[in-house]
Amino acid sequence: MSELSWGRRYLMCPPLHFGVLYEINPWMHREVAVDRDRSAAQWEGLVANLRAAGAEIELLEPKQHVPDLVFTANAGLVDGDVFVPSHFRHPERQPETAVFSEWFAEQGWRVDDLPEEIGHEGAGDALPFEGTLLSGYRPRSDVAAGPIISEMLGVPVRTIELIDDRLYHVDLTFCPLDDRRALCAPMGWDEYGRKVVDALVPEPLWLEDDEALSFCANSVVVGTNIVMPVTPARVGRQLEAWGFSVVESPVDEFLKAGGGCRCLTLALDVTLG
Amino acid sequence: MATEIVELEGHIVDSLLLAKVLDLILESGADYRIDEFELGKTNIDPSRTTIEISTDDDALLDALLEQLQVHGVNRTSESDAALVTSDRDGVLPTGFYSTTNLATDVRVDGRWHSVENPEMDCGIVVTDTQVRTLAMHRVRVGDRIVVGFEGVRVHAPSRSRDMRNFEFMNSDVSSEKPKALLIEQVAQRIRTVKERGGKVLAVCGPAVVHTGGAPHIARMIRDGWIDVLFAGNGFATHDMESNVLGTSLGVSVAEGTPVEHGHSNHLRVINEVRRHGSIAAAVEAGFVTGGAMYECVRRGVPFVLGGSVRDDGPLPDTMPNVVEAADAMREHVPGVAVALMLASTLHAIATGNLLPAGVETFCVDINQAVVTKLADRGSHQALGIVTDVGPFVQQLAETLCT
């Protein structure tokens, strides 16, 4: 058993302009107001918990009119010094692409673009597991992105269909823990996707439906520390039995927009292939 | 039937996308055939497949294609066939698509349509309801004819599973094979297609009669093993000559020796049949009392006698206009599953030209050149048997008519 080779350096964006200004997933309701102070405190709490777990945090300057910029997981894909910016499905998030691309270019990353017509929502829809990128498709990303990303980054991609609108990104259904284990939410996948994950992950922790819908898979793993938005009791016990330290970092203000801890972070130290 | 060729590319094996797509196709009630499959060498290389999807109706196909699109299934970027309207009877537009005898599809309005009656050396006409081959002389002003190669695809011939029995005789022409075994195999093919409702066509040359085979052909017709007969003036003449006068071209069929003044026997028979007005009338009048033509008339088995320039008489049923004769033969081709080409060169080749490639053809001749010539003309499923036709049909009849 060895720890993940990535997950010690993250990009985050303070929630200065965060709010539910539109509805692009079943969790978003414009009539539900975001508590600014609470969301800021939760975000700060997450930063503190990640730093305490041993992670470095880099900050992206928030921008007006792009409230979901806080969900940096959807910035794009990171592979060494290459950054592939996301192509968002919804027009509301499409202005984020230029903001993220600019930041990465300024920081010295090589920015490689996906073909214009191909949709893919970055690390939110593609997580590395033991040399393979597990990518979700249908709600936000196109199935055709899989082979293109594979060729661009030289990494095998397994593309699985996400079938539940509430679990609209793969990072709501899948969380790599180490080189053998991952949190897996089969309710989010069709039968073929379940078989693909079953073949990929030697020791999956299968989540019950209510556990999956708590967003506990949307957690951030820093070595043997796991920062979770919520920790269902059974899941927490299993993780601790496996030797992980679980820290709960509530982000329920962000759940109003359909995001958890993972959505608020983008790992910058990922090397694929 | 509506069909569409689609492509699926990517990590379709590891991601189980191919399995999913194929399952979705079947679950929708459609059917598929994998046309091509290229497996990526490594787990990074994409795999690629083209799949032919077929459904009973267009609406189902459209709905299915829309459903499959999200999983990465795309129509192949192919264009419709170009159609040019004919401006003269009996003349195809310049640049017309010249057909093969293989199963062929034509793309019209974004959809592939099977050509209904594959036949080589024809044009393809597209009507509101069908796509079919059309011989040059049958073109009429206003027919929409396929020109060029765009939007036309031809299916490579494949031996049916049942034909595997024949693989041990893979040489197309077989002169050094055990004949009894070959005959048993031919008989088995005939039994199989008859069980499935297919038709058996016999194309007979006069040598069938000369070598004593006519009574056995007659027996197979009588017992229902032959459904259509194509021949020329000679076969029909000598078949009836042997029945009426016991000779074939003046040679006693029983004795094998020439009879006195026998050279005129066939002319006398033709003359009497002409007096009756038709072979059927000669049979009805009791002038002809047995033989292949007699059995055809008795059993209502259709026959076409195609004439030629050296015919004696000819018989009233012989069609002196060969274009009309070929058209008459065409009428009987649909449904034919086995063709027996028996010691016939002219009519066997003419028939070979009319048959779709899928028809199993057995060409029996003492002359290897005839068999080779037929195969060279593109009759892909022709098995040649180089042997004396008389004993062949005798054994075949004995095998079948038990």
pLDDT digits (tens, 9 = 90+) for A133-163: 999 999 999 999 999 999 999 999 999 999 9
Domain annotation covers residue A245 = yes
| Residue range A60-88: mean pLDDT, rounded | 95
The CATH number assigned to the domain holding B116 equals: 2.40.420.10
User: Does the annotation count A261 as an active-site position?
Assistant: no
Integer Rg of chain A from CA: 17
Same domain, B137 and B208: no
Query: Sorting pLDDT into bands at 50, 70 and 90, what band is B169?
Result: very low
Amino acid B19: pLDDT: 94
Condensed to tens digits (0 to 9), the pLDDT of residues A91-142 reads 889 999 999 999 999 999 999 999 888 999 999 999 999 999 999 999 999 9
Mean pLDDT within B211-223 = 96
The per-residue pLDDT for B164 is 37
pLDDT band of residue B72 (cuts 50, 70, 90) is: confident
- Mean of the per-residue pLDDT values of chain B: 89
In which domain, by residue range, is B189 found?
161-400
The reply to whether A169 belongs to the active site is yes
Stretch A227-250: mean pLDDT: 96
Question: Quick one: B54 and B22 in the same domain?
Answer: yes
Query: Which CATH number do you get for residue A58?
Result: 3.75.10.10
> Positive or negative, the Cα torsion across B303, B308, B311, B316?
positive
Domain end, chosen from B109, B129, B154, is at B154
Q: Are residues B104 and B135 in the same domain?
A: yes
Tokens of B199: 């038709």
When the pLDDT of each residue in chain A is averaged and rounded to a whole number, the result is 95
Are the beta carbons of A121 and A266 closer than 8 angstroms? no
CA quadruple A60, A62, A65, A71: dihedral sign: positive
Closest chain B residue by Cα to residue A146? B10
The 10s digit of each residue's pLDDT in B287-317 is 999 999 999 999 999 999 999 999 999 999 9
Out of A150, A192, A193, closest to residue B11 by CB: A150
Interchain proximity A192–B14, CB inside 8 Å:
no
- Domain hosting residue A242, numbered range: 9-267
Q: Which residues of chain B are at the A interface, by a Cβ-Cβ cutoff of 8 Å?
A: 9-11, 14-17, 19-20, 42-44, 46, 70-72
- The answer to whether the Cβ–Cβ distance between A156 and B10 falls below 8 Å is no
Report the number of distinct structural domains present in chain B: 3
Question: Are B53 and B104 within one domain?
Answer: no
Could you tell me if A153 and A77 are in contact, meaning their C-beta atoms sit under 8 angstroms apart? yes
Measure A150 CA to nearest chain B CA, in Å: 6
Check whether residue B98 and residue B226 sit in a common domain: no
Q: Reply yes or no on whether the pLDDT at B110 is more than 90.
A: no
Residues facing residue B154 across a β-bridge: B104
Same domain membership, residue B193 and residue B150 = no
Residues B248 and B393 in one domain: yes
Cα separation, A86 vs B86, whole angstroms:
54
Q: Is the pLDDT confidence value at B4 over 70?
A: yes
Model pLDDT, residue A190: 95
Question: What pLDDT score was predicted for residue B176?
Answer: 59
Out of A175, A184, A261, A263, which one is annotated catalytic? A263
| Whether residue B162 has pLDDT greater than 50 | no
Residues A228, A239 contacting (CB under 8 angstroms)? no
What's the rounded mean pLDDT across residues A193-219?
96
Each residue's pLDDT tens digit, B8-64: 988 899 999 999 999 999 999 999 999 999 999 888 888 999 999 999 887 888 889
Whether residue B34 is found in the same domain as residue B94:
no
- Asked whether residue B158 carries a pLDDT value surpassing 50, the answer given is no
Q: How would you classify residue B165: left for phi > 0, otherwise alpha for psi between -120 and 50, otherwise beta?
A: alpha
pTM over 0.80: no
Q: Which of B39, B59, B75 is the last residue of a domain?
A: B75
Does the residue A273 lie in any domain?
no
The counts of H helices and E strands in chain A are 7, 15
Task: Report angle CA B269, B270, B272 to the nearest 5 degrees.
Answer: 65
Q: Does A151 touch chain B (CB under 8 A)?
A: yes
| B225-275 pLDDT per residue, tens | 999 999 999 999 999 999 999 999 888 888 888 888 888 999 999 999 999
Instruction: Give me the long-range contacts of B257-266 (CB less than 8 A, separation at least 24).
Output: B265/B241, B266/B237, B266/B238, B266/B241, B266/B312
Q: Give, as one character, the DSSP assignment of residue A146.
A: H
Closest CA relative to residue A262, chosen from A33, A70, A40, A44: A70
Exposed, middle or buried, B178 (CB in 10 Å: 0-12/13-18/19+)?
exposed
- B99 in Cβ contact with B152 (< 8 Å): no
pLDDT confidence of residue A5: 95
Distance from CA of B155 to the nearest CA of A (A): 29
Helix/strand/coil for B202: strand
**Interval A55-75 mean pLDDT:** 95
Q: Confirm whether A4 is domain-assigned.
A: no
Lowest mean pLDDT among B130-134, B156-160, B283-287: B156-160
Is residue A1 included in any domain, yes or no? no
pLDDT of residue B159: 44
CA–CA distance, B298 with B296 (Å, rounded to integer): 6
Q: Alpha-carbon distance A211 to A217, whole Å?
A: 8
DSSP B349-395: HHHHHHS-TTSEEEEEES-HHHHHHHHHTT-TTEEEEES-HHHHHHH
Distance of CA B142 to the CA centre of its chain: 29
User: Is A195 within 8 Å of chain B by CB?
Assistant: yes
Asked, for residue A2, whether it belongs to a domain, the answer is no
Q: Computed from CA positions of residues B317, B322, B323, B329, in that sequence, does the dihedral angle turn out positive or negative?
A: positive
State residue B65's pLDDT score: 87
Q: Which residue of A has its CA nearest to B19?
A: A192
Phi, psi (deg, nearest 5) at residue B227:
-105, -25
> Which of the listed residues B31, B51, B75 is the one where a domain comes to its end?
B75
Distance, in Å, from the CA atom of A167 to the CA atom of B28, rounded to the nearest integer, reads: 27
Backbone angles phi, psi at B222, to 5 degrees: -60, -40
Contact B16 A196 (CB under 8 A): yes
Beta bridge partners of B184: none
At A225, the amino acid letter reads N
Q: How far is CA B15 from the centre of its chain?
A: 44
d(CA B127, CA B125): 7
pLDDT value at position B163? 43
Q: What is the mean pLDDT of residues A19-46?
A: 91
Of the pLDDT bands very low, low, confident and very high (cuts 50, 70, 90), residue B129 is confident
Q: How confident is the model at residue B367 (pLDDT cuts 50, 70, 90)?
A: confident
Reported as a single tens digit per residue, the pLDDT across B322-350 is 999 999 999 999 999 999 999 998 899 89
Alpha-carbon distance A7 to A222, whole Å?
A: 5
Q: Nearest to residue A26, comparing CAs of A256, A246, A262, A215?
A: A256
Task: Please check whether residues B317 and B229 belong to one and the same domain.
Answer: yes
Q: Tell me the CATH number at B64.
A: 3.30.70.2690
User: How far is B174 from B167, CA to CA, in rounded Å?
Assistant: 12
The helix (H) or strand (E) run that includes residue A114 is none
Q: Are B313 and B366 within one domain?
A: yes
Give yes or no for residue B160 having a pLDDT over 50: no
Most confident stretch, A230-239, B67-76, B158-167: A230-239
Give the residue, A35 or B357, on which the prediction is more confident: A35
Clarify whether residues B218 and B139 are in a common domain.
no
Cβ partners under 8 Å of residue B153, min gap 6: B104, B105, B107, B112
A143: contact with B, CB 8 A cutoff: yes
First-to-last CA distance in chain A?
20
Clarify whether residues B21 and B90 are in a common domain. no
Q: In the prediction, which pLDDT does B174 show?
A: 56
Taking only the tens place, the pLDDT of each residue in B369-396 is 877 777 665 555 678 888 899 999 999 9
Number of independent structural domains in chain A: 1
Residue predicted with more confidence, B181 or A194: A194
- pLDDT of B165 > 50? The answer is no
Q: What's the pLDDT at B156? A: 60
Q: Which of A169, A175, A184, A216 is catalytic?
A: A169
